[in-house]
Chains A and B, each alone.
Chain A
Amino acid sequence: MMPSSLSGSQLVASPHAHAGKTVTGTMLRVELALVPATLFSFWLYGWPSFLVWALTLASCAGFEALCLRLKGHPQPARVLKDHSALLTGWLLALTLPPWAPWWVPVLGGFIAIVIGKQVFGGLGQNVFNPAMVARVALLVSFPLPLTTWVLPGAQASLPAPGLADSLMIFLGAMPIPDAMASASPLGFAKTELSRGVDLLHSLSSGHAPLAAWHGVRVGSLGESAAPLLLAGGLYLIAVRIISWHIPLAVLAGLAIPAAIGHAANPAHYLDAATHLLSGAAILGAFFIATDYVTSPTTPLGKLLFGLGIGFLTWIIRTWGGYPEGMAFAVLFMNALAPMLDRAFKPRILGRQRNGKPLDAPKEA
């Protein structure tokens, strides 16, 4: 029970000044950082991708409103205004296949908001990243639609579908044209490897989908625009919305083992650049792993958290059953976050790391 002296608005303790940061402002900045990459994806994948994005956001906001209503929250409008549900939806949308049918965003929004967040008690209470909970639940339950990728417009031989055709595809009334379907680079490498074709051969064959830095390639909405996401992420670090610890650690945790593996056996291990440019690596490092609620708050905790995500992602991609492992890695490390915070507290001024007071200094 909260002591009444802490909830009342009677006399407020110091400070009587504020930096002016707000939750809404913070979330808006993150969304702003996602705008370029999102627009780029719309251009790549056309109308269906826009519909997926829009419905995911709407679904998340809708379920959030519903939950707040059902819980009898005193100020549902104020909570909705903080944009946290929209941001969850946005991040989820960026991990979905661009031409997913309509029920994927709706179900995804339900899982993310209701199961991933509100069941835990709402904003700030959830242990797991809601967007990743939804992403993993969808992938495990509906592997096929969740791994049906399409060629980006610029590479496709067919013209991009118009709005009407897009709606049909979106509503499931029309199948995705075969000529458009493709595998993602990570998925392709995995399938070929399991067929016994090593990477040296599979990747050099003409039809291999390559991870290209400029982003015109096969993948989820947020997989394609790595440079734009990177720019967005650096912007967030520059305006101090996120700190550098987690992104750097995730990328290092992924790139270092990948580089070592590739150097040892290029036929079996993808190189570091492909790893970094594929799947949710950039999106995950800057936007998903850095989710405030589910990551540690201490600097050392953040570093270890990020390293863990990067390394686990590499393990899953290399030996796991799925071509992409970022979502699993994030969820796993989410579970460890509170423990990391506890175990790697900052050093208190005047104390040693173990909490004992420092010894009195000798004559200076």
Chain B
Amino acid sequence: MNLRTLLDKLLGSADWGIHPDDHKRPGADAPVRVMPAPSRLYLPLSQHSGAPARPIVLVGQKVKKGECLAEAQGMVSAPVHAPTSGTVLAVADVTAPHPSGLAMPAIMLEPDGLDEWIELKGCDDPFALSPAEINKKVAAAGVVGMGGGTFPSAVKLTGANRAGIHTVIINGGECEPYLSCDDVLMRTQAAGIVAGVRLIVHASGAKRALIGIEDNKPEAIAAMQAAAAGYDTVRVCPVPARFPMGFDKQMVKTLTGIEVPADGRSFDAGVLVNNVGTALAVWQAVAEGRPLVSRLVTLGGACVNAPGNIDVPLGALAEDVLAFAGGLKGDGLGLARRVIGGPMMGAQVQHWRVPVMKGVSGILALDAKEARLEDASDCIRCGSCVEACPMGLLPSDMAANIRKEALGEAVELGLKDCIACGCCAYVCPSSIPLVQHFTYAKNELAARDRATLRMEATKKLAQAREARLAREAQEKAEAAARRKAERAAAAAKTAAAAEASKQGEPT
């Protein structure tokens, strides 16, 4: 044990995070329900991080299930495919599953009810393919990080291969309360996941894969261990259940002891992190040629009639999912908060007319007791937030500075290292919306950065203009001087010639 770990142990910063009630059962144990396409699908062009996809279909065009509707554009992007067969109605706006409630452009599809696939081109021996070929197939299938990061998987794989990583970490932590879609995936599709993990190891050039699963999912651990038996590159590792175990840095540290440097990516530390759902999607993309058109979504919260996991076609509205899966108790009586994603990091939305996208893992209808609507009171400096913060920050001091608009101070305290995990606000006895403070400050800083950039750009333009004017003036002056000199030279020449001719004249 080196000095740093010893200090961390003694001073409690190794004891990060919180142990929330997980609320995962009975939802996790209910059989998966497969939802047919509803009457309309709304497929946002931006379901991934990076540039939005560009539509390549025409309004009125008939498409089949799995057909590409919009293609990736730019370095970091992913295509969007049709989740069922039907007719393209329009490119219209739909509300984003985000607290801002802003609209985002989406392809509107009217299913024809036939659910007819395009011809899928699979591959009998994916392990015979080169990493580049695998990446191409993963990219074409529109696979993105399914844990919520939604980073295009092919881009990540290529980067990892180039950086020369040694370990693939597969995140089966699913530390958010309520959510159990990864759990169910591991219980029911362990073989596919393990195959995907091996394929990722192959494509990224790593030596081994570690699958981290929280110890509150014994069934998943058993199923995955059985599926991984016989492959010595793949190891299933139970990890303690605590939030936020599912974050890359925390999972990497728990499994390998490696601490990814701040400002650095996991690649720099020689690891690549992927979610279990992503591993399965990668396998399906390469082995079956199947694009990403549906995903498992957990329906939970005290207000839903039948919690559980649902296989939802992408683009279905949360409203349709609820209608399919038993709806809300008492038609939404007592509903206090609508959340897309998990309760710790998910987004509160104003209504259910938001589409399920590639990164949506949960739809939660929470009652007042679960959401615990409390007015904030004054900070009593109890230090609970400091103890809980998995990053080792001082949330109370950061928030106090942000309230005073002293953003610089907050940054000095580590605002930029905050991962918005919500542990601090979860434990705060004064119910202070700490994460709201940090999000506000980060947005404000980003806005200021943009303003500074703009100002600098304007200044640069102005400077460039001045320089150009000065240069032009100088050039003009030089040209004038040159002309003058030429004229003078010419005059001198004529004079000399005249002189010469005069001299040459016979006397």
CB of A19 within 8 A of CB of B427, answer yes
Name the residue in B7, B268, B383 with the highest tally of chain A Cβ atoms < 10 Å from its Cβ: B383
Nearest residue (CB) in B for A20 is B372
Residues of B within 8 A of A302 (CB): 383
CB of A349 within 8 A of CB of B270, answer no
- Measured CA separation A12–B432 after assembly (Å): 11
Q: Does B403 contact A (CB under 8 A)?
A: yes
Neighbour of A1 across the interface among B18, B405, B426, CB < 8 A: B405
Q: Does B61 contact A (CB under 8 A)?
A: no
Q: A82-B377, A124-B380, A363-B166 are in contact. Are A14 and B344 (CB under 8 A)?
A: yes
Per-residue interface assignment for chain B, residues 420 to 443, with 1 indicating a CB less than 8 Å from any chain A CB and 0 otherwise: 101001111111010111011000
Q: A17-B20, A361-B270 are in contact. Are A299 and B380 (CB under 8 A)?
A: no
Residues of B within 8 A of A9 (CB): 375
Residues of A within 8 A of B261 (CB): 350-351, 357-360
| Pairs of residues from A and B, 4 with the lowest C-beta to C-beta distance, nearest first | A15-B422, A297-B383, A350-B262, A13-B436
CB of A347 within 8 A of CB of B426, answer no
CB of A18 within 8 A of CB of B259, answer no
- Measured CA separation A110–B35 after assembly (Å): 67
Neighbour of B249 across the interface among A15, A19, A293, A349, CB < 8 A: A349
Neighbour of A350 across the interface among B20, B259, B436, CB < 8 A: B259
Residues of A within 8 A of B391 (CB): 348-349
**Residues 377-396 of B contacting A (Cβ, < 8 Å):** 377-384, 386-387, 389-394, 396
What are 5 A-B interface contacts by the 8 Å CB criterion? A2-B403, A13-B439, A124-B380, A346-B392, A349-B392
Q: Does A195 contact B (CB under 8 A)?
A: no
Nearest residue (CB) in A for B383 is A297
Residues of A within 8 A of B397 (CB): 297, 341
Per-residue interface assignment for chain B, residues 389 to 416, with 1 indicating a CB less than 8 Å from any chain A CB and 0 otherwise: 1111110110000110100000001100
Nearest residue (CB) in A for B429 is A21
Nearest residue (CB) in A for B263 is A357
Q: Does B347 contact A (CB under 8 A)?
A: yes
Q: A14-B343, A15-B435, A18-B426 are in contact. Are A347 and B7 (CB under 8 A)?
A: yes
**Distance (whole angstroms) from the CB of A10 to the closest CB of chain B:** 9
Neighbour of B343 across the interface among A15, A294, A297, A345, CB < 8 A: A15
Residues of A within 8 A of B263 (CB): 350, 357
Neighbour of B366 across the interface among A6, A16, A303, CB < 8 A: A16
Q: A2-B403, A350-B260 are in contact. Are A17 and B420 (CB under 8 A)?
A: no
Other A-B contacts than A11-B350, A357-B262, 6 sampled, CB-CB below 8 A, are A16-B364, A19-B20, A79-B377, A82-B377, A124-B379, A349-B417
Residues of A within 8 A of B264 (CB): 350, 357, 360
Q: A82-B377, A346-B13, A350-B264 are in contact. Are A361 and B259 (CB under 8 A)?
A: yes
Neighbour of B384 across the interface among A11, A20, A21, CB < 8 A: A21
Q: Does B133 contact A (CB under 8 A)?
A: no
Residues of B within 8 A of A148 (CB): none
CB of A297 within 8 A of CB of B394, answer yes
Of the stretches A22-30, A255-263, A319-327, the one at the interface is: A22-30
Residues of B within 8 A of A295 (CB): 381
Residues of B within 8 A of A5 (CB): 436, 440
Nearest residue (CB) in A for B440 is A5
- Measured CA separation A9–B371 after assembly (Å): 14
Neighbour of B262 across the interface among A1, A358, A364, CB < 8 A: A358
CB of A18 within 8 A of CB of B386, answer no
Per-residue interface assignment for chain B, residues 1 to 43, with 1 indicating a CB less than 8 Å from any chain A CB and 0 otherwise: 0001001101111001010100000000000000000000000
- Measured CA separation A297–B373 after assembly (Å): 26
Per-residue interface assignment for chain A, residues 277 to 298, with 1 indicating a CB less than 8 Å from any chain B CB and 0 otherwise: 0000000000000001111111
Q: Does B309 contact A (CB under 8 A)?
A: no
Name the residue in B8, B426, B444 with the highest tally of chain A Cβ atoms < 10 Å from its Cβ: B426
Neighbour of B381 across the interface among A21, A292, A361, CB < 8 A: A292
Q: A16-B364, A17-B426, A349-B391 are in contact. Are A292 and B383 (CB under 8 A)?
A: yes
Give the size category of B's interface with A. Answer: 35 or more
Q: Does B475 contact A (CB under 8 A)?
A: no
Interface of A is mostly: loop
Q: A9-B375, A361-B269 are in contact. Are A84 and B380 (CB under 8 A)?
A: yes
- Measured CA separation A297–B11 after assembly (Å): 12
Q: Does B99 contact A (CB under 8 A)?
A: yes
Q: Does A200 contact B (CB under 8 A)?
A: no
Name the residue in A2, A16, A84 with the highest tally of chain B Cβ atoms < 10 Å from its Cβ: A16
**Distance (whole angstroms) from the CB of A305 to the closest CB of chain B:** 12
CB of A361 within 8 A of CB of B262, answer no
Residues of B within 8 A of A357 (CB): 261-264
Q: A13-B436, A23-B430, A363-B270 are in contact. Are A345 and B413 (CB under 8 A)?
A: yes
**Residues 46-83 of A contacting B (Cβ, < 8 Å):** 78-79, 82
CB of B417 within 8 A of CB of A6, answer no
Residues of A within 8 A of B389 (CB): 346
**Distance (whole angstroms) from the CB of A242 to the closest CB of chain B:** 9
- Measured CA separation A354–B263 after assembly (Å): 15
**Distance (whole angstroms) from the CB of A83 to the closest CB of chain B:** 11
Q: Does A123 contact B (CB under 8 A)?
A: yes
- Measured CA separation A228–B173 after assembly (Å): 44
Q: Does B131 contact A (CB under 8 A)?
A: no
- Measured CA separation A172–B445 after assembly (Å): 63
CB of A17 within 8 A of CB of B437, answer no
- Measured CA separation A294–B425 after assembly (Å): 21
Nearest residue (CB) in A for B339 is A16
CB of A361 within 8 A of CB of B377, answer no
Q: A18-B374, A348-B392 are in contact. Are A243 and B387 (CB under 8 A)?
A: yes
Neighbour of A349 across the interface among B370, B384, B390, B430, CB < 8 A: B390
Q: Does A3 contact B (CB under 8 A)?
A: yes
CB of B426 within 8 A of CB of A15, answer yes
CB of B394 within 8 A of CB of A6, answer no
Q: Does B223 contact A (CB under 8 A)?
A: no
**Residues 232-257 of B contacting A (Cβ, < 8 Å):** 249-250, 253, 256-257
CB of B262 within 8 A of CB of A351, answer yes
- Measured CA separation A361–B271 after assembly (Å): 11
Q: Does A107 contact B (CB under 8 A)?
A: no
Q: Does B142 contact A (CB under 8 A)?
A: no
Q: Does B65 contact A (CB under 8 A)?
A: no
Nearest residue (CB) in B for A11 is B99
Q: Does A300 contact B (CB under 8 A)?
A: yes
- Measured CA separation A11–B102 after assembly (Å): 13
Residues of A within 8 A of B364 (CB): 16
Q: Does A161 contact B (CB under 8 A)?
A: no
Q: Does A187 contact B (CB under 8 A)?
A: no
Q: Does A227 contact B (CB under 8 A)?
A: no
Q: Does B313 contact A (CB under 8 A)?
A: no
CB of A299 within 8 A of CB of B347, answer no
Nearest residue (CB) in A for B386 is A297
- Measured CA separation A292–B394 after assembly (Å): 15
Q: A349-B417, A360-B269 are in contact. Are A6 and B380 (CB under 8 A)?
A: no
